Amino acid sequence: MITEEKVHEILGEIEDPHLHTPLAELGSIKEVKIKDKLLSLKLAIAQPGTGEQMQLQQQIVTALKEAGADSVGLRFEQLPDDVIAKFDMAQEEESTSLLDRTDKTTFISVTSGKGGVGKSTVSVNLAVSLARQGKKVGIIDADIYGFSVPDMMGIEERPRVENERIYPVERFGVQVISMGFFVEDNSPIIWRGPMLGKMLNNFFNEVEWDDLDYLILDLPPGTGDVALDIHSMLPQSKEIIVTTPHATAAFVAARAGAMALKTEHEILGIIENMAYFQSQSTGEKEYVFGKGGGPKLAEELQSEVLAQIPLGQPDYDRDLFAPSVYNETDPIGQIYDEIAASVMEKTKKTEDA
C-alpha cells in the first residue's frame, strides 16, 4: 500500500519541467490524501496549463501507480512568484515567441457567430491551399472546447517536446497545433477562462514554429473569453468571417465582425459556406439554406464576399485519410485555391519571401 512518505520520496525524484528542480525541494506538494489505494494530490508548479504539465502529469501518475496507487487524482496551481524567482537559474534567451514576428507573419483569424457553419473546414482548407501556393503556413486550433482540426486533417501523431519547446505536427505542408493533442481519449475540457488563456499564450510562445508566412487561427464561435484573448494578443490580426446563407447565421456573425472592428482588426472578407447544393446529375443549384446571408453580412460590415462555397464532402481517399481536406482537382478545392489567392493579394504577400 502506498504511503505519504513514499509519495514524497517519489516526488523528490521528479523535477519541475521549467525550474529543473525536484518538486519536493520546491515545496510543490500542497496536499496529499490517501484512502485505501486512492491517492489525491495538489501540486504547485512554475507554469501550469502547458504542454509540459501534461507530460509531468503522466510521469507522476505512472510513477505513483507503479508504487502501488490504484488511482491518482492531480490538481495543479502556480508556485508563488518568489519561489519561481529563487529557483529560476536559467539564463535569459532571445525571445522565440511567434508574437514577435508580426513583421514576417500574417495572422488570419477565422471566426463565426455560431457553431455548425463550417468555420473549421474553412480554416483547414485555407491553410492547405496557401501551402499549395508555396507559402509557409501554420494553424492553431484555438477552438479549445471544440477542437477538431487534427481529426479533419487526418492527423494521428502527437507533437514532440524537446528542451521545453513543442514542435508542431506537419501535414499537407501545414504546421498544426491543437488542444486535441494534449487531451486523452477525446476527454472534455473543463478549464476556466484564465487557464485557457494561458494555454493559448503557450501556443504562441512555447511552440517551435517555422518562419511562417501565414498563421491561421481557428477561433471558437461567438465572442467569448477565448476570442477576446486572441484579439488582445494579436493587435494586427486580419479576419475572415464564416456564415451560411441563413439570415440568423448572418445576424449572429455580425457580432463577431463588430468585435473585429472594435479591436481595429481588418476584415479580409466573408465566406458564405453551404451556399447551395448542386446536383451532379443535372447541375441545378438548390438553395437549401436560403439566399443572401453572405452579401447582407458583407454590406453590414462594409466588406466583401470572398467566396460562396457549396455543400459538399471531399472524396474518400483510403491511402491519404483526411476527411475534411479537398484536393486541388476537386471543384470545391479549386474554390479554396481561389480564396487563398485572394488572401495573398489582400495581404500583399504574393511574392515569395
| Domain 98-346 CATH class label | alpha beta
Mean pLDDT of 88-98: 54
pLDDT, mean of residues 272-283: 90
The answer to whether 200 touches 177, Cβ cutoff 8 Å, is: no
Q: Using pLDDT thresholds of 50, 70 and 90, give the confidence band for residue 184.
A: low
pLDDT tens-digit series, residues 205-228: 889 998 899 999 998 876 555 666
Please report the pLDDT score of residue 93 as a whole number: 44
Listed in order, the ranges of the chain carrying CATH 3.30.300.130 are 4-87
Average pLDDT of every residue of the chain: 84
Range 275-294 average pLDDT = 89
The Cα-based distances of 350 to 128, 188, 204 in angstroms read 16, 40, 25
- 3-class DSSP string for 299-351: HHCCCCEEEECCCCCCCCCCCCCCCCCCCCCCHHHHHHHHHHHHHHHHCCCCC
pLDDT at 348: 77
Per-residue pLDDT at 94 exceeds 60: no
pTM listed for this prediction: 0.69
Contacting residues for 154 by C-beta, under 8 A, at least 6 apart? 171, 320, 321, 322, 323, 325
Q: Is 4-87 in CATH node 3.20.20.70?
A: no
Reported confidence tier of residue 194, pLDDT bands at 50, 70, 90: low
**pLDDT tens string 2-12:** 888 888 888 88
Q: Which residue has the higher pLDDT, 126 or 146?
A: 126
Portions of the chain given CATH number 3.40.50.300: 98-346
> What gap in Å lies between CA 145 and CA 142, rounded to an integer?
9
Mean pLDDT calculated for residue range 245-250: 81
